[in-house]
Amino acid sequence: MTTEGPSGPHDLETVGWVGDGATGFVRLIDQTLLPGEFTRIACRDLPVLHEAIRSLRVRGAPAIGVAAAYGVVLGAQRALHGPERDMLRAVREACAYLATSRPTAVNLFWALDRMQRLALAEGASQQELPARLLEEAHAIAAEDREMCRAIGRHGANLLADGSGVLTHCNAGGLATADYGTALAVVFSAHEQGKALHVFADETRPLLQGARLTTWELLRRGVPVTLICDNMAAQVMREGRVQAVIVGADRIATNGDTANKIGTYGLAVLAKAHEIPFYVAAPSSTFDLSIPDGSHIPIEQRDPREVTHPFGKATAPHGVGVYNPAFDVTPADLITAIVTEKGVIQPVKAVTISALLDQGETRGPAPSSHCHHPA
């Protein structure tokens, strides 16, 4: 573990790998400690990585996918150094175990499926397979970095100079391998010289907007104002917001989009105030195996996140709690979806299919290799 902070705004490396395929380990930023403490933690076995994903030490759909891909390498290592030395079995078990960490972010299952398909098709020796798996995990991380930059380029044109931009949760470099999705659009527009002012929802109950989004924006010199979640309507009515842009954890075939709880409400407010509502996500976030948002599993999290945020009791003992981590925004409330392939507008099944079919996509919809938990 190290507590040295990053030397500049462009060297976050939310999640990465240290060493070779046989003896290396996953290294990631512990986001639960930000913004007060910048700490990188080492995950040398699957239970530690599983806990890191589950407890949001690493979070954001693309970053979770990258972490899971590296986690499969950890699983292969166990077979390499263990008594049974059954590499394919170890890969399958690693996929099945990591798939139980978070149910909503489709990038997790996409990455696990891709890693397992490589292992099944590779034909490499027991000694060689961990290195090949590590190459594939590195490729997933590199592709994510490239796609984030492309999302930023495509989306920057949607933001006018002088705009106020509202965002929710954290969809920046901390949620991806680099640069972000929703924040990539902001960063790219800012780098073009556009004068933007971001309004960041605090994002209850774990305050990813307050703790993470504002931290990233300040480091890059983007003007930002933090607001409580329930202030969004007033800020819109005052004319301070000209666009809303958020990330996504899973997008159905018809464009219905799951994102951090509170996103749906912002979309309704944006519609009422005639403000464009944009979603930014890579093609791997689309789940074409489901027709609409009603099929997206919604993660229910620990009630103590609501009753005891950051360890302090804010509600009476014994009160009932409903704590869904995500909600689903219907496609008809989304003005456009920004992907690395371009902008989808209007948002409907036919326009989504047309854009995703342009060239080779990142991968298929999640398949039967790594089953989604309900």
φ, ψ of residue 120 in degrees (nearest 5): -70, -30
**Can you tell me the distance from the alpha carbon of 234 to that of 33, in angstroms, rounded to the nearest whole number?**
31
The DSSP annotation for 114-156 comes to HHHHHHHHH---TTTHHHHHHHHHHHHHHHHHHHHHHHHHHHH
Write out the catalytic residue numbers. 249
For residue 11, what are the contacts with CB-CB under 8 A and spacing of at least 6?
A: none
Residue showing tokens 């996500």? 281
Token pair of 320 as six digits: 């009932």
Give the separation between CA 287 and CA 254, rounded to whole angstroms.
Answer: 10
Phi-psi map region of 255: left, alpha, beta (phi>0 left; psi -120 to 50 alpha): left
User: Angle at CA 44, nearest 5°, toward 39 and 48?
Assistant: 70
Quote the CA–CA distance of 252 and 246 in Å, as a whole number: 16
